Amino acid sequence: LINYLSGLGYGSENELFKKYWPADLHVIGKGIIRFHAVYWPAMLLSAGLPLPKSIFVHGYITTEGKKISKSLGNVIDPNDVVKKYGLDSFRYFMLREISPFDDGDFSEKALVERVNNELVANIGNFVYRTLSFMDRYFDGIVPAAKLTKEDKDLIKKIEAYSRIVKELLGKLELKEALQKILELSAHGNKYFQENKP
């Protein structure tokens, strides 16, 4: 635990320590919570140092419901997954499928389904429709316009969802925030479908 401090040059004139301590957030696995939530704070307090502002405890990633383990031979190399599917797809899946507070299951099949059905078909479709519409009809410039009731309703939804997503992100509820973004994107796709020029 002390390496958190020594790695930043604690006890020297190293600027890293002044810049990065206290930590805003400690991210740890659930198997080591006792060390980071009991022993480490006690060490810091006895040294007269400030505590990390927050501790974020995540669950384990499983595959087919089993804990990933070398002895079971079911280790998944994230670098291989990224090479095959891309970093954005991998990040999306991890945020969407695996709750940071619980154990979550990884499979390539689930990754492909999530990416195709949500990232591509929902969010990607909405972004594509929005940008294509602006480019096709307005030379890429958002024009001044009279707003219809449907326009105003969508704007209210955007504002409401923005507040909700910001609040969820502040509570580190990443999966829930992404769910709200998907819901908003679905509203946007529906709006485009119902208001075709």
Whole-number Å distance between alpha carbons of 171 and 160: 17
Structural domain tally of the chain?
Answer: 1
Task: Confirm whether 105 is domain-assigned.
Answer: no
Query: What's residue 130's pLDDT?
Result: 87
Task: Confirm whether 18 is domain-assigned.
Answer: yes
Task: Confirm whether 54 is domain-assigned.
Answer: yes
Give residues with Cβ within 8 angstroms of 52, minimum separation 6: 22, 23, 24, 25, 26
What is the mean predicted confidence (pLDDT) over 139-160? 88
Task: Confirm whether 51 is domain-assigned.
Answer: yes
Please report, rounded to a whole number, the percentage of residues in the chain having pLDDT higher than 90: 50
Only one residue has tokens 């670098």, namely 79
Q: Name which residue leads in pLDDT, 172 or 78.
A: 78
Whole-number Å distance between alpha carbons of 177 and 96: 9
pLDDT in tens, 51-107: 998 888 888 889 988 888 888 889 999 999 999 999 999 999 998 888 777 888 999
Give the structural domain span for 12.
Answer: 1-58
Provide the angle, in degrees to the nearest 10, between the axes of the packed helices 87-97 and 174-194: 110
Task: Confirm whether 29 is domain-assigned.
Answer: yes
Task: Confirm whether 93 is domain-assigned.
Answer: no
Whether residue 61 contacts residue 99, with contact meaning beta carbons closer than 8 Å, is answered with no
pLDDT range class, residue 48, cuts 50, 70, 90: very high
